[in-house]
Amino acid sequence: MNLGQINSGDLVVIDANILVYANQQKSKECVQLLNRCARGEVKAIVPMPMVAELMHTLMLIEARENGWINRPNPARVLSEKPELIQRLTNYEKQMRQFLGIGLRLESVVTVDLIEALSIQREFGLLTNDSLLVAVARRLSCDSIVSADGAFQKLKGFMVYAPEDLGTMWNAE
């Protein structure tokens, strides 16, 4: 289902890729969804692993834009140059803006980790994806927003994805 089909008042759990696409202005649908969330039209939950993934991704994007990394394994390259990390400023501004939207950030608790292991076995999801589903289950939320096609195999969930990105399934 596309993002425009999310009804006012709905509760959704949002994947990191949606946040990145909105931040980078790659998807008008993602931007519009976050605006709806900021206005309180849609109730959004972002599990902490997705927040960390967003911060990490924005850091790498800024480093690439600065021309500081262009080799494989950009995180490793950047980690070997802490003086460059200290000079990054744009990702911090972007993260502060994100935090100012007022989305509900949800911690991962022990029961989520245990549930994530079962979800990985059942659906073959990677760690962060399975944690997102575990948090959604714990909070009785049956709607997930992601551009990752891996969520399409879930049972018992409505999965919403941006259509303006073209075929994004398995893009992560």
The SS3 of residue 156 is: coil
Q: Is residue 97 within 8 Å of residue 58, measured between CB atoms? A: no
Domains observed in the chain: 3-160 (3.40.50.1010)
The H or E element spanning position 16 is helix 16-23
106: its two tokens: 């949800």
DSSP state, 169? T
**Digit-coded pLDDT (tens) for 17-37:** 999 999 999 999 999 999 999
The pLDDT-based confidence of 171 (bands split at 50, 70, 90) is very low
pLDDT for position 70: 82
The pLDDT-based confidence of 153 (bands split at 50, 70, 90) is confident
Give start and end residues of each alpha helix (H) in 39-89.
Answer: 48-65, 74-79, 82-87
pLDDT for position 125: 96
Query: What is the number of other CB atoms lying within 10 angstroms of the CB of residue 16?
Result: 25
79: its two tokens: 């980690």
**Digit-coded pLDDT (tens) for 94-135:** 999 999 998 999 999 999 999 999 999 999 999 999 999 999
| Distances from the Cα of 153 to the Cα of 6, 109, 122, 157, 158, angstroms | 19, 24, 10, 9, 11
Count the residues in the chain. 172
Summarize the confidence of residues 82-86 as an average pLDDT: 93
Please tell me the distance from the alpha carbon of residue 151 to that of residue 129, in angstroms, as a whole number: 8
